[in-house]
Structure formats: C-alpha cells, structure tokens
Amino acid sequence: MCGIWALFGSDECLSVQCLSAMKIAHRGPDAFRFENVNGFTNCCFGFHRLAVVDQLYGMQPIRVKKFPYLWLCYNGEIYNFKQLQKQFGFEYQTLVDGEVILHLYNRGGIEQTASMLDGVFAFILLDTTNRKVFLARDTYGVRPLFKVLTDDGFLGVCSEAKGLINLKHSTSLCPKVEPFLPGHYEVLDLKPSGKVASVELVKFHSHKDEPLHTAFDTVENLPSGSFDLETVKSNIRILFENAVRKRLMAHRRIGCLLSGNLVAAVLLKLMKEININYPLQTFAIGMENSPDLLAARKVAAHIGSEHHEVIFNSEEGIQAIEDVIFSLETYDITTVRASIGMYLVSKYIRKKTDSVVIFSGEGSDELTQGYIYFHKAPSPEEAAEESERLLKELYLFDVLRADRTTAAHGLELRVPFLDHRFTSYYLSLPAELRIPKNGIEKYLLRQSFEDSNLLPKEILWRPKEAFSDGIASVKKSWFSILQDYIDQQVDDLLLEKAAEKYPFNPPKTKESYYYRQIFEKHYPGRSSWLPHYWMPRWVKATDPSARTLKHYKSATQE
C-alpha cells in the first residue's frame, strides 16, 4: 500500500505543485521520493512508500536498466509475478512484484499487461520512447486512483482526490477531479510540451469473466460445467483458500480484522502450513458488550489467535467523524457510519502493534448476497443482478471505506473475497444456488465450509449484522447514537432548505446534512464523487441500517 502521484504538462512551478503530493503522505510513512522526468521539465512523479516487499529496491518510480525509457509508479500487489516470470522467462532486477508490469508491457503492450495481472493495483506507466502515458486500475478498484485532465492537456493523477484538488493551473479555476474507473486502462499521447491527449479508455476485465491470468494460476483446472452441489462446495473452498494463500506475500507482519471471521480462520490455517513463526494478531472493535466483540472472542478462542479488543465510547466515535469524512472523501451515510469503527481500530493497530498487512472480509456481502434485503429479492435472477451491481459499485462504498480508513494509518489491506478467480467462479454459478435460504444469507458460502471445523457452528451460521450496527449494543444501535447527537447540531430550518443549498444528492435527514456539511468544508463543489447514496433495495427503507429492516427485527427477537 503506497501513495502515487504524477503530473504531466504542469504550467506552474513543480516545487509548488509538489505540496499537493504531501496530502497523501499517510499512505506511505516509510519513504518519499519526488522525481522529474528527463526531457520533460513539467512532468514529475511523487511516491510515498509503505515498505512491504523488497525493502532495498522498492522505491518508485521503478526504472530498470533493460527498459530505460519506462517509468512506473504503482500502488498494489501483483500476486502472480513469479508465475509470469516462469511462464515468459522474465529477468527481474528487483524483488518488487510490480516490476512485472514493465516486462509484460514490453512483451505485449498495455492490454495484455492489465489483463494478466492477478492482484490489486492502480498504476501510471510512462513510455518516453513512444510518447505514451497509461493509467490502469484493478477490477474492483481495491486500490484507489483519481485523475484530473484539463482541456489543454494538463494531467494529474493521484491515489486520493485530496492530492489533486489544490493543483494550480493557468486555464482552469476548478478542474474536474474524478475517480478512475475500476477494470479499465487509459491510453494518452504525450506531446513534446509535456501535455497529454486521451486516445482511448478501455474496459479490460468484467468481474463475471474468468480472468486471462487463470491459465497461469497455481490451482489446477477445476471441474467446470458441473453444478453438482458437492463439486461446487469443494471448488468454493479450494478457490477461497487459494485467494487467501496468494495474499500471504509480505515481509511485514500480517494481522486480521475479525469482522471477516472466515478469512481469519483460513488465514491462520495457512500460516501454520507455511510455518510463519509468529502468532496471528486479530482485531475487533465495539462498544462494551457489542455483538461483534462477543462473536470475535468466540472466533479468536476457537482459532487460537492473539486477540486484541478495541473498546470505544460514543464520544470517541463522534469526535472522529470529521477526520473520517476527510479521509474518506465521501458523505455517504452508511459508509461514514461503518468507517468510524474501522478508522479507530486501524489507529489502534498502527499505534499499539507491529501488524501492517491487514486481512479483511470486504466484498463477501456483495458477492455472496449477505445483505439482509436480499431476502426480499423478487427472483434469484434479480438477486444475481443486484449482486453484480453492488460489486461494480464497491469502489464507491465498502472498498473505499476499507482502503481509506486503513491507509489513513499507514496499513495495507488484503481482501481475499475480491480475488478475481474466486469471484468469477462464484458469479458463474446458477442464480438459484446463490440466494439466501432458510432465512440465512450467504447460505452457499456457509454451507461450503460447514464441515471444515474452521469456525464454531454458531459463528459460521450467525445472521448478518451490519458493521456499523454490530459495534454497538443490541439495545441502542450506533446509528441511533449518532442521530441523537446530530439532532442537537443541525437546526430544523437548515434541513428544510437542504435541497436549495445542496441540489445534488440533497440530504433528507439531519445526519446526512451533518456529513454533507463536513464534506463540503473540505471538498467544496465535489459532491458528484458520490453518484447516489447506498440504500437497500426491494424494501421501503428510509435508512441504510440493517437494524431498521423487519427481517432483522424478527431475527433478533426470536
């Protein structure tokens, strides 16, 4: 996990523009480099490093003797760099996994490069010989990337929007900063002036398609075309274990958030198999006696991890709101609520432990239909469509939350549920196999691990609890605590006139108004970064919390 930043065709002094690069310093606390591009005095790269692999040669932009005309700045992990080396005979000069991007590009161009990478990534690749700039981002946008491109060809690229919003440019008062779309690459021509022109934006991978790099995977071909339940369950186990195993690539200590219980159980099993000689640190956050803390204790006791509980009170949570919204760069209601707990637990991990690479369960609810409102889906086909929509928008919601809250404290996130091969297989299964059954969401996933003894049965089959709710007591939800506080902060008259002040995504509640106010303070006029609020479907919901849904109430009252 790092922070990348680059400018092409800057009219302003680079030493002034460089100050913007410091806005993402939290993403790379170990080292910083600012480098001009030879022959292009108005082009430069900035890089903040979190050293997880190759402590010696891991600085960026990466340049190697074999390709002196290529410059690479990337944030991510490429899990199949060794398999690709073996397959194509690449001669690496460093131990950095991202070096494979240079070799793939030299061998087959940008389309093959992006399609062959098994991992999470956002990168800027400059080819000074062919005068091209390439941008690319992984399928689910696990690693963030933003860009600004003005009419006269000034390009700025950064891991977070906050590194671009204050850039100076002669022809534009407020250039449009926007997220770079996941699963896409862009080709831009680099002019002698250092300015650029966009040539094409290409979608290189759709989450339903089996990725090209499957051909070089360490897992042999699985039985395909058969939807026999036992075969399906076996394939799910094999592919999920493989997703966790490949993510063990790290020279820094590995930890795990215990909201991803299955992730932690599989992770610990695999760490023992490869003789990692330190105990797995697991983390859970909540208020005193919250459901998440109690469940996490049971999991930690069962798997034998070194468990840390982070207990916070409502005052600490409320005090963190502004810092959280600044980190997130969004005002989405459920994202802000859920981020507060994750932000505070990440802060604890950074200050009190030596774990740096943090596994988590993001993506499982979207992929395996874990949200409670899936019980209300009119048909299996519509549930499958909704699952795909949620996965497509992850970069705006849960993946955004998970990246920014951990990156704010210099941690690197690993999310095995969003493994390309695992997700494409799960989405290839018949729609009726993937729906909730017997009142239980994520039914197929739970069923697949039922006989593994990885988790206690009551934890494996525990009903869904939203992260922003599970951290509070059953008696009073976290969202109720927030609303009670905010009710005193926002006047009724302000809310009545909210649509006039904020015509795009107008706040409908005092809580959403409060978050929007803070967002606009830091990012004025940038409300379009959030196309719409996250809300459950098929139910008449006025609040995104699961605890407001009838199904949740009946489940907790039984």
Binding residues for ATP: 257, 285, 360-361
Name beta bridge partners: 310.
285
Task: For residue 26, give the DSSP letter.
Answer: G
Task: For residue 437, give the DSSP letter.
Answer: B
Are residues 265 and 325 in contact, defined by beta-carbon separation less than 8 angstroms?
no
Active site amino acids: 2
Are residues 103 and 82 in contact, defined by beta-carbon separation less than 8 angstroms?
no
Mode of pairing for the β-strands spanning 306-311 and 281-286 = parallel
DSSP labels, 78-138: ETTHHHHHHHHT---SSS-TTHHHHHHHHHHHHHHHHHH--EEEEEEEEETTTTEEEEEE-
Q: Which residues are annotated as a binding site for L-glutamine?
A: 97
Q: Which residues contact 432 (CB under 8 A, 6 or more apart)?
A: 380
Question: How far apart (Å, rounded) are the C-alpha atoms in residues 347 and 410?
Answer: 9
HEC assignment per residue over 284-322: EEECCCCHHHHHHHHHHHHHCCEEEEEECCHHHHHHCHH
The CB density around residue 15, as the number of other CB atoms within 10 Å, is 9
List C-alpha distances in Å: 246 to 143, 198, 268, 359, 517.
Answer: 17, 35, 14, 12, 42
What the block records as the tokens of 104 is 């793939």
